[in-house]
């Protein structure tokens, strides 16, 4: 198996060093390690290539967000398998090896993920039960929240070409749409060991930067419905999730004096088979909600 590892990076050189070293220490070495630098201005572009030399491929990109960086890295990848790693996460040495072993034993499964170990401001915490994937068929639980982490996944290049790329319109929750498309059609193999280490609690994380994060997931659900690739049962689950997330958003909007009655009307129309245009979704859901 030829694996291309892609790390998107923006102004996190010290954390990037830890991520890169965890890739270079893998028991199953990847074919290549691509660092997609999203227009960093912290001297990363100078330090990184000279520090690692030919051990990494460094892509210097304009600052257009993490999805653009991941997508460009995937476009450059030469491997027939892709693994993503966020620059603030890192891997245990057996991460790729265990996934390779799994896919050799389960050749029809084209996507897998390891379990995670979480660190919050340096302290280890146990993921809640709702964050633990219940099995290989993940579409329905993925509607409620992301039970797949980019840093934990290994997928065939053909899966990426079929269902990708990451939605570059979304400033956060950018992976939610992709995982829904994949899990609607594909089983996701589960590696039981927590071989992906995620660290949270920092002010620069996307999850702390934007208010009303569910609006990005609502955008993704409308996009998924528009693609018309779901079964009738999956469509019903998706509409139920859309109404639940809209209820949360409208309740929050009421507390802040924001009128979101238009969103409720959108959901009612979606249940009748009529969806807002992409231009309407972008304008209403991706704008400033401060």
What is d(CA 141, CA 176) in angstroms, rounded to the nearest whole number? 12
> Mean pLDDT over residues 172-178, rounded?
94
Least confident of 164-168, 186-190, 200-204, 231-235: 200-204
pLDDT reported for residue 265:
97
> Mean pLDDT over residues 227-241, rounded?
97
pLDDT reported for residue 119:
80
Which pLDDT band holds residue 131 (cuts at 50, 70, 90)? low
> Mean pLDDT over residues 193-222, rounded?
83
pLDDT reported for residue 288:
85
Residue 47: both structure tokens together: 């330090």
3-state secondary structure 109-159: CCEEEEEEEEEECCEEECCCHHHCCCCCCCHHHHHHCCCCCHHHEEEEHHH
pLDDT of 273 strictly over 80: yes
pLDDT of 208 strictly over 70: no
pLDDT in tens, 18-65: 999 999 999 999 999 999 999 999 888 778 888 898 999 999 999 999
What is d(CA 149, CA 128) in angstroms, rounded to the nearest whole number? 14
Percentage of the residues of the chain whose pLDDT score is greater than 70: 93
pTM of the model: 0.92
pLDDT reported for residue 46:
78
Comparing 208 with 86, the larger pLDDT belongs to 86
What's the CATH class of domain 3-203?
alpha beta
Give the torsion sign (CA, 206, 86, 168, 138): negative
Q: What is the mean pLDDT of the chain?
A: 92
Which pLDDT band holds residue 206 (cuts at 50, 70, 90)? low
pLDDT in tens, 72-116: 999 999 999 999 999 999 999 999 999 999 999 999 999 999 999
Every domain of the chain and the residues it spans: 3-203, 214-285
Cβ(146)–Cβ(175) below 8 Å: yes
- Among 108, 78, 91, smallest CA distance to 2 is for 78
Cβ(74)–Cβ(154) below 8 Å: no
Q: Crossing angle of helices 261-271/214-227, nearest 10°?
A: 30
What is d(CA 219, CA 287) in angstroms, rounded to the nearest whole number? 12
pLDDT reported for residue 128:
60
Percentage of the residues of the chain whose pLDDT score is greater than 90: 80
pLDDT reported for residue 211:
84
């Amino acid at each position: 198996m030829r694996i291309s590892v892609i790390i998107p990076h923006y102004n996190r050189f010290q954390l990037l060093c830890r991520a890169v070293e965890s890739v270079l220490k893998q028991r199953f070495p990847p074919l290549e390690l691509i660092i997609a630098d999203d227009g960093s201005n912290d001297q990363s572009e100078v330090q990184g290539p000279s520090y690692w030399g030919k051990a990494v491929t460094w892509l210097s990109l304009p600052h257009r967000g993490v999805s653009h960086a991941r997508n460009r890295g995937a476009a450059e990848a030469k491997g027939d398998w892709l693994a993503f790693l966020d620059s603030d996460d890192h891997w245990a040495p057996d991460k790729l090896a265990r996934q390779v072993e799994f896919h050799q034993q389960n050749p029809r499964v084209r996507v897998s993920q390891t379990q995670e170990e979480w660190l919050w401001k340096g302290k280890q915490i146990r993921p809640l039960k709702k964050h633990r994937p219940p099995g290989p068929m993940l579409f329905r639980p993925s509607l409620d929240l992301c039970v797949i982490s980019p840093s934990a996944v290994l997928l065939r290049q053909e899966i990426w070409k079929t269902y990708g790329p990451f939605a570059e319109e979304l400033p956060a929750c950018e992976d939610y749409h992709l995982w829904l498309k994949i899990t609607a059609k594909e089983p996701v193999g589960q590696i039981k060991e927590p071989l992906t280490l995620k660290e949270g609690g920092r002010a620069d994380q996307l999850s702390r930067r934007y208010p009303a994060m569910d609006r990005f997931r609502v955008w993704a659900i409308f996009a998924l419905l528009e693609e018309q690739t779901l079964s009738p049962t999956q469509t019903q689950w998706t509409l139920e999730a859309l109404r639940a997330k809209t209820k949360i958003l409208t309740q929050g909007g009421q507390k802040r004096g924001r009128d979101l009655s238009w969103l409720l009307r959108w959901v009612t129309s979606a249940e009748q088979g009529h969806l807002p245009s992409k231009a309407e979704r972008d304008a209403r859901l991706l704008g400033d909600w401060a």
